[in-house]
Structure formats: C-alpha cells, structure tokens
Structure 1
Amino acid sequence: MTLTLAMTCAVAVGNVYFPQAVIPLVAAGLHASPDAASLAVTATQLGYTAGLFLLVPLGDRLPYRSLLVTLLALTGLGLLVAGCAPDLPTLVGAGALIGLTTVAAPVVGPLAAGLVTADRRGAVIGTLLSGSIGGMLLARVFSGSLGEWLGWRVPYLAAAALTLLLTIILAFTMPATIPPSRQSYPALLAGSLRLLGTEPDLRRSCFYQAMVFAGFSAVWTCLALLLHGPVYGMGAQAVGLLALVGGATMFCTPLAGRLVDRHGPDPVNLVCMLAVLGSAAVLAVGARGDVLGLTALVIGTLLLDIAMQSGMVANQARVYALRPDARSRLNTAYMTCAYLGGSAGSWCGVRVYEVAGWPGVCALVASLAALALARHLVALSRSLRFHPTGPH
C-alpha cells in the first residue's frame, strides 16, 4: 500500500509539472508565442490551486478510495482532451481541468500522517514527498524527451494512459476508510479559511512555502525558454535531463524529515531559506551560456530543488501537528497558499524574463527568499523572547 500511495503521489504531481518541459514545442505546434504557450502551465497550476481549496477538504468527509479514484479518472479524461486539443484555448482549458483534479498527493498526505505517531510523522512525510519528487523529475524527463521525438501531444496522451491505469489499480487495492468528519461541504470550505485566521503557525508556514515555491516555479518555467533560446540552443529534452539531476532530492527529503523529528521544523526552515538565496546566486551564472553557465544551472537547480522540498517537509510537519481532526483542511489552506505562490511565480517569471532575462529571474528568486527569511527571523526572535532557553 505504501508503494501504491507513493506511485499515486508521483503520477499526480507529475501531471502538474511535465507541461513545463514542452512549452517551446507547444508554441511551435500551435503557432503561438512562448508567452502565450506558457498559459497552459499557468492554467494547470491555477487549476491545481483551485483543486486544493475546493476538493482536498473532502478528505475529511469522504472515504479516501472513492475520492482518489474519482479524481484520477477525471484527470485522465482531462489529459486526453489536452492531447487532442486543436488550439491553444482548448489546451489551456484542459490544463485547468487537469490541475483541478490531480490533487491526489495532498489527499494522501493527511491520510498517511494520521497513521503514525507524532515522532515518526516527519519521516513519513519525507518518504511520501520522495515519491512526489520522483514523479516531478521523471515527468520532465519523460515529457521533454518524448515530446522532442514524437511531438508535444504524445506526453499528454501517455500521461492519460498512466493515470487511468493507476485509477484501476486504486479501485481494487485501496482499503476502506472511515472519514473523520461529518461536516457539510460548505462547512469544510469555511473551516480551511477559519484555520488560516486562527492558527499563526499555519499562516507562517503558508507564507514560507508560497515565497519559496514562487521562486522555484519561476526558475523551472523560464528554464525551458533559456535553454531553448539563442544562449544555449538546446531542445526541449534538455530541460528534462537537467531536471533528472534533481533526483538526489528524493534521498534528501527523508533525511529532512528525520531532522524535523529530532530538532523541530524551524531550524530546517532556516537552512532551506539560506540555501534558496545561495541557489539564486549560483543560477545567475547560468546566463553565460557556456560550459560554466550550464554547470551553474545544474548545481543551482539541484540546490533549489533540495531547499524547496526539504522546506515543505518542515512546513507540513508543523501544520499537521496543529489539529489532528482537521488535517485535510489544514493541508488545503497550506497547499492552496503554496500553489497560489507557485502560479504567481510562473506568471511573473515569464514576464521578468522578457524584460530582464535570466538574471532578472534569479533576482526575483532571491527577493522572494529574502522575504521568507525575514518573516522567519521575526518568528524565531519571538520564540526566543518567550522561551529564553531556545525555540520550542
């Protein structure tokens, strides 16, 4: 079951990220500008954000098996529509549907967190996140290489087949569960908003992830434009191969989870934010366009991936510890804010790239990380004030 849940996270998350690697191919195939083609990525991320808010709270109300099977089936249909899209508006609309329904990973997270004791929660979150990271990385490699070889439609159609196959597997293997809440759907939605107002640690976790994920999305959305453009002149599969280097992140998140279990989430957050600032400086060298620049892109994206994902482990461990009876609603609030940041980062990144190029994107990442770091230092100073022996 653990393997099945990890695969579910991998496929669901991969459906959000694989379109990033085929933006130039979509632009050429549908005779659109790269700016317009990037709307397919933005629409998927905005749809995912909407799904987090509208659908993930149902994990507190509905049996997990029926919820996951329904969501994955709808995602598969959306992918089929996208793969057959005759024009860009249809692709953008299908992308929004894909994003809306491919929220299986944040549905699985609260389920797994409730099955273990508090001192093991970080390790479990890190392990599930490894599955999500694997899906994200392999999806970019798969879509970039397959798209370069057979065209941009084939990655969408292959993802549809994989998603529908997983739907069938879950329908027969997922155990029956009893929902923890009997609240109405409007009450569940209101509960997510209410928790944002009443839980300060939830708000700061949301802010941390929104800022860091915005920078992360800006980098990966614009990376395809940089590598495909005149500076490097590489194909779409280059983005996928570069993403594959980030596979080391899969081994770092379980370690981050154990560090969270041992020392708490705050120290892990601090190190991750400093690492994002460092990654922005390294990535800026990538504007050179030579071997040194390509090496900087490899090192910088790896550092950024590790920092973003490890920070997510710390943030989710903090959030899940707040209200055991409302973990899906807590995760809804947290993930909605995170992906709002990611969607804004993709949109802003493309526009900054058009005006200031790759150095402008790196400056955007550094600015967002600095905002998160400043907020975190304020929280640490308050913690030290109330707990002179150290943060608790």
Structure 2
Amino acid sequence: MQNRWMIPLLALACAVCVATIYFPQAVTALIAADLRVAPSSAALVATGAQFGYAAGIFLLVPLGDRLRHRPLIVVLMALTGACLLAAAFAPNLTVLIIAGTLVGVFTVVPQVIMPMVAGLVPENRRGAVMGTMLGGLLAGILLARTFGGTLGEWLGWRAPYIVAAVLILALGAVLAVTVPHTEPPVRHNYPALLAQSVRMFREEPELRRSGLYQALTFGGFSAAWTCLALLISSPRYGLGAETVGLIGLAGAVSVFVTPVAGRLIDRRGSDPVSLLSIIGVILAAAVLAFGVLGGIAGLVLLIAGLVVLDVAVQSGQVANQSRIFALRPEARSRLNTAYMTCTFVGGTLGSWLGVQAYDLFGWPAVATFVAFVALVALIRHFAHLSGRRGTPAPASEEPSAATLR
C-alpha cells in the first residue's frame, strides 16, 4: 500500500463499524423509557446486535477469500448504513431489534479488512500494521459507549443511530475510490467456504480451545457491560446514559496494555497470557460485585472492575488470535471466521444470560456469572496444561512472528 493515509483510514473504518455493536449498550435505559418497555426487554437490542455480528462473521466474512475486497467492503457498509437508519426511525421495539440485528450482520467490515491488510503489506511490517488495525477496533469499542451515551442523553436514543449511519455511508463512499484493487485468493464456491470454516473448527483442537476461552470471557464481558446501563440508571445510582459512556473511556487503559501482552507472547508463548487473562476476569468479577454498594465508593469500584475486565479480555484476544493464526497461515481468514463466530456467540449468550440474572437477582448475580464463566475457562486451561505436561509443545504454541505488537 503506497498511500500513507490508507492504513489510518482503514483503521478508522474498523473503529466506526465495530462501534455500531457497542453503542446500543449505553442507551438501553433511554430506549426503554421512550418505547415504554421494560429495561430487560430494551437490552435485547444490544443482544440482537451481537447475535447479528456472530451470524455475519460466519456467513459473510468468508466471502473475503472469494470476492474482490473493495466492492465487498463498500456494499457491506452501505447495507449497514441503511439498517442504522431503519433502526433510528423504528416505531417500536420489535422493528428496532430486527434492524439492530441486521446492523450486526452487515457491520463485519473489520473482519474483512484485517485479513486483506495482512495480505497487502510486507511481512516485516505486518505486525505493526495489524497492531494499528487492532488499535482502531479497540478505539471503536471504547468510544462507542461514550458516543452513544453522551449523544443519547442530549438528543435521544435515535441520534446515535443517525450519526453512525451518516459516518458509515460517508466512509463507504471514500473507501469506494481508495481501497486497493485485489484479486480473490480462492475460487471455492460459497457453500465450500462455509464448510471449510466448520471443518477447520472440527480438525483443529487449538482453534476449539481458543474459541472456548474467548467465548466464555467475552460472554462475561458482554454481560457486565449490557447490565451496567441497567444498574447505573436504577435508583441505587440514578445516573444517566452519559455516565455509562464516560465509564467506557476508562477502558482506554487496554489500548496501552494490549501491546505489552503481545510482546509477552513473543517471549513466552500464548498460554501464559491466556492464564493471566482468565485470572484477570475472575479478579474483575470480585471487584465488580462491590458495585452493589452504590454511591461514590460503588461507582469507583465499578470503574476499577470494568478496567480490569477490559484489559483481561483484550489481552486474551491477542493470545488466542496469536495461537490460531500460527495453525494454518494460508487460511487465516477462515480460521478467524470460526474463532470470531465462537467469540460473538459467547458474547450474545452472555449478554442475554446476564440480563436474565440481573432481572431476577440483581447486580451481584451478574458479577457471579462473570466469575463463573471465567472459572470454567480456567478449569479447561489447567486441563490443557495437565495434558501436555511432559510432552513437547506443539508448533501452534510457539510465539508467532505475526503476533501483534
């Protein structure tokens, strides 16, 4: 890529597209009040977006190995913008959930862009460039709640959908004339592409293990963030959606910690970072439980717990992707499809189960759920370590030259 603005532009596209999955978490209470539905029902909007993203990863991302990237990216962004506008003018919750789910399906552009970029840059620059792409994703995730909560508090919950639609349609128009021309690397038909992702998941135990780790920890992450808006707006705190957005800014710490995790993977391999990540989620759950205190003390502990949770989950993401990308370098896009599908299926289930737990038993049940899913991952990790004790590490466990830095 000769254009020096191309990488930052693609990173921006990643940030804006992924933000559409996360900003609905900050406006749940506003949606509930405006549409006169229960907060737990309004939370289905955020759950639907995550479910749609999981479906889009599985159904659409493999097309990045079959179609030219420029038209695929532009069409997906145009469809995302159209669905965001449909959500913005939704007359009731049912239409909003359907439109929001379709937003999730089509906004998988980052998962198309990253494999494309990996194939366009020299190998000696791939780590740095992919780090920039990951930085864009993290920025989108972190700023999404601030954007949604602040704008929603000022102008109503529909405003973030309208602004996001305008941004994505404008970016799509720019990318329509700037994305480099690429040729499809494979000529497989569409059913064969889907089948290969499923077959890789069946054939690669390390892919299954990595997918399980991230599905569990991301499920806890999604439960905590989806229910945070419900807790913050409850009588215990009595705060608005803007507060949820400001809390999201605290997670910016993970942007700086993630490269450290990448360097540790280079030196020690992915398993030590996975272990630290899972333990970090358990510690975060313990701190989050004190959010039930209310007041300034409860808010400070909530923020601290969420920062630890963000850092742990994002570090685990680096470790897991490092592990799977070392399996079959020629099939990274399809490996990523299988892995990210697991991740967002876990996120969707975690979000839904978290809301049910909150509805029945309150915030302590959400913190308990976060700890429980991480404990399951920890047991699986110790089982793996026990199984390979005394045996040479497989090639996929060695540090990868493409590890994000």
Same fold (TM over 0.5): yes
TM-score, with length taken from structure 1: 0.96
User: Retained in 1: the 8 A contact 2:7–2:129?
Assistant: no
- Map 1:216-231 to 2 at 5 A: 216-231=221-236
Looking at structure 2, the residues matched to 132 and 199 of structure 1 have their Cα atoms a distance apart, in angstroms, of 27
Q: Matched residues, percent identical?
A: 55
Residue deviations 1:154-209, cap 9 Å, x none? 11000000111110111111101122211100000000100011011100010000
Give the direction of change, closer, same or farther, for the CA distance of 1:255–1:179 in structure 2 (3 Å limit): farther
Counterpart of 2:195 in structure 1 is 190
Residue deviations 1:99-147, cap 9 Å, x none? 0000011112222344567787665544322211111111110110111
1:319 aligns with 2:324: yes
Counterpart of 2:402 in structure 1 is none
Counterpart of 2:374 in structure 1 is 369
Give the direction of change, closer, same or farther, for the CA distance of 1:119–1:201 in structure 2 (3 Å limit): farther
Match of 1:135 among 124, 140, 145: 140
Match of 2:340 among 335, 339, 363: 335
1:379 aligns with 2:384: yes
User: Retained in 2: the 8 A contact 1:13–1:132?
Assistant: yes
Match of 1:63 among 64, 68, 92: 68
Looking at structure 1, the residues matched to 351 and 7 of structure 2 have their Cα atoms a distance apart, in angstroms, of 32
What CA RMSD, in Å, does the superposition of the two structures yield over aligned residues?
A: 1.8
Give the direction of change, closer, same or farther, for the CA distance of 1:209–1:117 in structure 2 (3 Å limit): farther
Give the direction of change, closer, same or farther, for the CA distance of 1:291–1:372 in structure 2 (3 Å limit): same
- Map 1:4-153 to 2 at 5 A: 4-115=9-120, 124-153=129-158
Counterpart of 2:209 in structure 1 is 204
Q: Tell me, which stretches of 5 or more residues in structure 2 are unaligned? A: 1-5, 399-405
Give the direction of change, closer, same or farther, for the CA distance of 1:376–1:115 in structure 2 (3 Å limit): farther
Residue deviations 1:72-106, cap 9 Å, x none? 11000000111111111111110111000000111
User: Retained in 1: the 8 A contact 2:150–2:241?
Assistant: yes
In the TM superposition, structure 1's runs of 4+ consecutive aligned residues that sit over 3 Å from their partners are 112-127
Counterpart of 2:401 in structure 1 is none
Match of 2:181 among 172, 176, 192: 176
Give the direction of change, closer, same or farther, for the CA distance of 1:10–1:209 in structure 2 (3 Å limit): same
Give the direction of change, closer, same or farther, for the CA distance of 1:125–1:378 in structure 2 (3 Å limit): farther
Residue deviations 1:265-291, cap 9 Å, x none? 111111111111110011111110022
Looking at structure 1, the residues matched to 388 and 157 of structure 2 have their Cα atoms a distance apart, in angstroms, of 50
Looking at structure 2, the residues matched to 75 and 258 of structure 1 have their Cα atoms a distance apart, in angstroms, of 35
One-letter amino acid of the counterpart of residue 147, structure 2: F
